[in-house]
Structure 1
Amino acid sequence: MVSNSSRGNDNSKEEQKRLYYHGLKEQKKIDVSRLKYISLIIAVLGVALILIAAQGAQAPLMKVNDVYGNYLMNYAVVRINGTVVTVPYVSQSGGKLTVTFTVDDGTGQIDVRVYSPLADEMLEKGVIPFPGDNVTAEVQLRVRETYTYSMLQYLEGLRFNSKLYSENPQVVKSLTTDMANTYVAVEGIVTEFSNVSSGYLLTVDTGESEVTVLVPKVLLVFNDFNVKVGDMIYAPGIVYLYKGTSPEIVVRNLSQVSVTPIEEAPLVQISEAHGYPGMVMAVKGSLAGITYESGRYVVTLTDGQNYLDAVVPREILANLDPFRVSSESTIKVAGKMGDDGRLVAAYLAVVEPVETEFRPIGTLTSDMLGSIVAVRGNIAEVVRIGSNLKLVIDDGTGKIDVFIPSATLAEISNETMDKLKDGLGVEVGGYLEEYRGALEVVVYTGSGIRALGEPVPPQTIELPKVNASQLADYKGQLVEFVGSLESITYVDGTYYLTVDGVKVSLSRDALLNLNPIEAGTGSQVVVKGLVVNESLVKGENLTVEVPVAPVPLKPDEVTTEMEGQLVVVVGKVTDVANLSGNLKITIGSLPIFVPRTTANELAYVPAEGDLVQVGGYVEIYQGEPEVVLFHPLAVEKLQQSGPVEGTVSDLETAVEPLLLTVTWDSIAYQGPDYALTVSDSTGSTTLLAERSLLLNPLEAGTGSTLKIVADPLSGRITQLEVSKAKPSPLLSTGAVDLSMKGKTVAVNGTVVDVAVIGSSLKLRVDDGSGEITVFIPGGADLSVEEGQSVLLAGYVDEYNGEVEIVVYDLNAVVVSEKPSGGSAETNEVKVAELSSATGVVNLTVVWDGLSYNNGYVMKVHDDSGSAELPVPRELLPDPREAGSGSTLRITYDADAKKVVSITVVEAVPAEELKTGKVTLDLLGKTVVVEGTVKDVYVGSSFIKLTVDDGSGELVVFIPKSVAGDMSFEKGQTVRVAGYVSEYKGTVEVIPYRTDCIEVR
């Protein structure tokens, strides 16, 4: 069975051979059992060769924007080339480090993370990328839904193409954004230290500014670094823009950083300290004073002969307890000597303390400024000023302000704050300062306030009473100065009284104890103040002991010789004007100037027509006297009664209106009124009268008997009637001469010449005996032409040495004949008709603006269109009365293409604007501005002022033809009316009338 089976198998194999190898010779048998070993060896070698090739091949260099958010790149290994733009951030979790930095290749930014143990190796070897470095990193990508980051695969996969580094970097005093990605160094004193998540954050004071330095945490993991406030540091690093805007220095190499502890600073004599700029040093001396400057305090030390200023942060100054350390104490200050000779301090210690004594407030004087003082009193007022606090305390000898800055306020406990209330006692320690002319104590540390919780009894002091001859013996002392008041002046925010020949400075608040209506020149006063020298007392308070009431004066009795004297003026208000918060009250023709502070306190503001008495001092303004009202109660309204009969001589003493019967002697023009000279048996006087009160001289001229009501205070005629009329005598034109000046006359003749001058008319009249000039103010609209016969009357006057008749009443002109041919009418045309008009025409238009182009050009319009008309400067209206926007009647010579006359139909005064509100949108418009002169430039044909009222600077351009002989200086206040123009993009205001420029 077995053999048969074997045979069967053998036969089967033979059959297969014949089937698959048909026609072939049978091959020799081969043993393939070893092939499996050979194939395995070949496979292993192949894989090894593939691995070796893979390690030698670089990952592809990719752009950030090609991989960011690309899910197909998740887990891909790529290379990123770009600039490091962040400070490496270190985090520790579970004892393992992670370092993260950001690379920007220009197409985008991507974070590169380095995990432990690779992160530990990176920090230990110092292979750390910093902002500004250009690197190539082989990373594996992680693409998430909203965030793509990368992981460094191995340390050799981080290659530095360039490093932001220098062995000898430039030392800078301050940082700017322009320094970004530069390598610099800073040297100075550490004034602030913070341990933040990104490392140690330092503030370094270089003496010129404060610079922020970051010692990154990535450098601190395996290194010790010790620094504190007050130490001197030299720190190089990369200028990095924190949050893209704030420059700071990021240290990249701790071995380059050097720290000098402040306690080790060598002691230098005050007299020699200035000679070592840049050196870290310590000095000792007595505390001579404290002041505040731009966020820091300046402590002045002295060795008795030499002085040294040390600039100290408040945190350092707070080490001085003002109750335990007086100005006589010896202190030690350490820091770096600046190039300006001042020590930039970061360390302060008391060497020999001298306790501060409490002083009565009334004994504090300005010669103690900067000294540490301590006062005790009751709170009279508590005021919040922003985040600061102000107390007013009173100890019975005087009051003083106490200023507590916000930083100090934050150090005061809630318990103390609860006791800072009106009426409760308080002890205050700080340095003495002067603010707006008044003394105040500045509390620079929270320990300088002690709230007592209950009132303290008042103190008393007795000052020596001295007269002018004794002042020299009390120099530097507080006294009560007694003397006779002579005058008052005002200079740069301070009032000065002259008392028995001695100048006494005084604040406005103290001056308000003097009401000039009740106490004038000659009053005996007592001034509490500091004796500066025998001719100057710095006053703190004023008391009137024996008042001498001034004698009331009429407005015209105040003269320039009275400058500085106290006066009381009685009269009628003729005008009240607001000058940017100041008031100008005119009594008769005398201006009363009321400063803004006083104007805001007036209980009674006079109105035009009121009878008032005003007290003040005399000042000279533009060569004329004015009275300055400094006391809000020194203006009173007086009751008026009806006129009483009187004589011319009674005008000298009367204050109420008088009814007079007088003879009219002469008349003259005293713009805008007319001056009438009248007389009776008691004397003669000249009074002003409005034109509307004047009589028709054809019916009643000089020589007439008049009944008038005269106001003795203003010197004006308020009512006028004819008691006995005397017509002006009719004379031949050739008989009128200058001997008749001021008298009224009448003439009858033929018009030989007619000229329109502005709103006035000028004629030449001849009756055959000789020509006479006739001037008719406001007569431009009269229909008078050459060849007509006229009868007219007016007063005789002189013009340019020639006689003329001035007709002040248009009813005193009678035209009896029209010339043959022609018309006396002037055509009325519209703006649109100007181009075809001929001869002289009239326009009624709205004034839109003014410009200058080889002469002044007015832009006007009516309902038919607009036009630009050349106009002589002398015809332009006063913009304070009628500016752009006014309706004008213009007489225009269409042939000569020029304006002949301008009459204001409806006046719109120029708008008063703040200097900072005048913009190019107002080109051509008339405006009124007032401000302080900040700069003056005088050109060959112009004067250019820069003025500012606090809202912004404005250029005022004044042609010298307008300025005349006026001059300007910095610090003056000017008020200007003119039109808005532009020069090279700069807005200007240009006045075109001299009287529109006021200088105070």
Structure 2
Amino acid sequence: MSGKKGEKKLYYHGLKEQKKLDVSRLKYLSILISVIGVAVLLVAAQSAQAPLVRVSDVYGNYLMNYAVVRINGTVVTVPYVSQTGGKLGLTFTVDDGTGQIDVRVYSPLADEMIRRGLVPFPGDEITAEVQLRVRETYTYSMLQYLDGLNFRSKLYSDNPPIVKSLNANMSGSYVAVEGIVTEFSNVSSGYLMTVDTGDSLVSVLVPRVLLVFNNLSVKVGDTLYAPGIVYLYKGTSPEIVVRNLTQLSITPIEEAPLVPIGEAPNYPGMVMAVEGTLAGITYENGRYVLTLTDGSSYLDALVPREVLASLNPFNASSESTVKVAGRMGDDGRLVAAYLEVVSPVNPEFRPIGTLTIDMRGSLVVMKGNIEEVDRIGSNLKLVIDDGTGRMDVFIPSATLAELSNETLAQLKVGLGVEVGGYLEEYRGRLEVVVYTGEGIRALGEPLPPEEIELPRVTADELADYEGQLVDFAGSIDGLTYANGTYYLTVDGVKASLPREALLNLNPLEAGTGSQVVVRGLVAGENLVKGENLTIEVPIAPIPLRPDEVTVEMRGELVEVVGRVTDVANLSGNLKIVVCELPVFVPRSTANELTYVPAKGDLVRIGGYVEIYRDEPEVVLFNPASIQRVEETGPREGTVSELANATEPLLLTVTWDSISYQKPDYALTFHDSTGSATLLVERSLLPNPLGAGTGSELRIVADPLSGRITSLNVTRAKPSPLVRTGSIDLSMKGKTVAVNGTVSSVFTLGSNLKLTVDDGSGGIAVFIPGGANLSVRKGQSVTVAGYVDEYNGEAEVIVYDLDAVVIGEEPVEGIEEITVSELPDATGKVNLTVTWDGLSYDNGYVMKVHDSTGSAELSVSRELLPDPREAGTGSRLRITYDADAGEVVSITVVEAVPAEELRTGDVTLDLLGETVVVEGTITDVYTGSTFVKLTIDDGSGELVVFIPKSVAQPDLSEGQTVRVAGYVAEYKGTVEVIPYRADCIEVR
């Protein structure tokens, strides 16, 4: 009800209700009309063109942002390709005369444009329908579809003219260039090459857009034919931009025919290769000139630095064979673009001092320490020194650019460097030009002096090196001084040396014969101007006594040892007298002495022998060649060490002979290592009756003075008693004893001269200082001395007055008897007998004999001689008390020391004989009245029986003892019995 009432209100009162209309079909009609309208509009839009605009009207106009417009103009840039996320982008610039605007093309449209060859290049006239993008400072456009790009004209020619050079007036023309690629760079815009046409260098760019879907192989040295558009890079530098790879032609340099050097100039304009030995390098107008030779012909090749840089001077020297390829010029020189080392010859580091101006153009390598570093514009100059000389090193800016920052940081003064390049002359001075970055090696530390190597030559080879710096090796002959210069003679060749270099020679360490190396300039086959001296194999000189230096030794290096007797200052020079030998010290050396000797010092001095006022003197040129000899106690040594020793030696020797050398005596002696003769004062000589020649001595020998300063007898051998008539000159120097009657007496000043005769013939006896001896004619004497010569005859020299024993004058009642007369003798009698053996039977019993028989005589132990000096076999003079039946005294007439035997060699066959044995104690047994030892020297055990009456040292197992005694037997066991306490020595 209510709804109906509402409807009624829609009508005015009194109106009749109208017929209802059906409008459902009208909606379909409206949709149809809309579709038709849109279609009409679309057709109209497709047939309409975007408005043609001027760049200046739209550039920076925000109202035109996203507007689609058309632009007409000329392409003025090389198309630039970018790749981001694997998608290509392409950009080129169009100029319509009112301004320039970039046109961008994005993938996939850019890919299609490149594949279809629709990329615009500089000089092309185009119309492009683009959508604008207006930014605050930059306006650019985007190509929406390929049909929106129309070429009104393309800069292109199927047969472009070939040009030899480019200039700015050629901009926008289409030309071709043909030549050799001398430089190649892969830059962001593409492949940039430098082509040598023979007349000039032309830049060629293959844009990156042509390389997106194509490969191109080209390298330095290849021959290139390249057509393209002349484009002004950065508005000034003309270059050819290739727009079609199919027109590009490349001939690899390897295919260039090889032409003999002598024929190459006959083919101007031809691309060729030549091979030859590198004869030299110079620089000319921005290019290097390589001179090649085949041994008979020469050819110059003009080479850019980039090509020459492939020649590493550390890998190939001037003697190397190289291949060079390029185009032959009209002037007969090859314009090279390719270089290859065919047969390298390894270079050797050359000392700077050996490089001369006639080597200009040669490839060299050297090393040294940097002395100076200077910037010359964009170039760098070094001065290096290798100890043999200094050299300028020029590093051009192009080479400098190739050096790493690490290398550049180490090119500092004081650090070492290795340099390779060619020699050039600049303002009269030799220099090395480093044309490649590989020619500099910074070492980062100073170069040691020993790294420098020079030719090592001998005296026979000097003539081949005249004018060159060498290391001259040989042996020292001597040293001289003349006109302010020292001359060291080496293998007969004089080498002048500055004093500073000569200080490397210390004559106390290196004398004549030492192996040395003189570094210097060869001035001739007999003269080297030395700069330095190295001692390679020093040979220590033999120390000389001052009196051994003679004028014949002039120039020789010597070492003198002796005591300083005088020191004097002569106007700054120093004069030192050693014994009687003058030593001259020049002022320059004297000022550097750290030790100036004083009178009385024992010194070692080294120098060379010079002659001053017809006498020898030693010149001391090195302040280190004078030393004080510390006088210390003697050390144990051998005779062989005397030749080189400087300190006293303690020697155990055997005395061989003696002679007189005023005012002393000369003793000759030996040990197992050699023999020697030294002086000795008479007061040190032993009494020859007890110890003569053949005795074992313990001496202190001073090798510096040539003297014996101490002498002790360790094993005495009495001088043998010989018949006076048997002494002759064959015994000269030997000591002897004689016993006889004085037949003549002469006093000669303080001396005494006798004639002694024992019935076999007289012998002259000279006794120095013996004038006060009470010797009368007819007396018996026993004397001992050495045999010498006087007026061609032998005589005995008695040097010790204690060796003169004057007998009593003949007294009735004491007679000389023989052994056979002994049973009938009474009282005291004298016997001269040979000792045969010793035994013990409630006392000691000696067995003796002479030519008439043998006997056994009781003897007190105290009278028995030391068996080490006179044992069984010795001739004895015995005074015997026939009534008491015992020996009263014993005098050794001719001593025979006991034989030294191995412990295992002592047998019962030696019963009674005296022996000397030495061995290690293996057992000790102490009885109530004796001590019994068992000793062994490795040959077998031996028992030593020591009676308690013979005092002995403390003995224990492991000790080594030396025992002298007689051989006895106890219950079938052999043993040795010492009868003197001093005959038991513990070693």
Same fold (TM over 0.5): no
Q: TM-score, length-normalised on structure 2?
A: 0.41
Which of the two has higher C-alpha Rg? 2
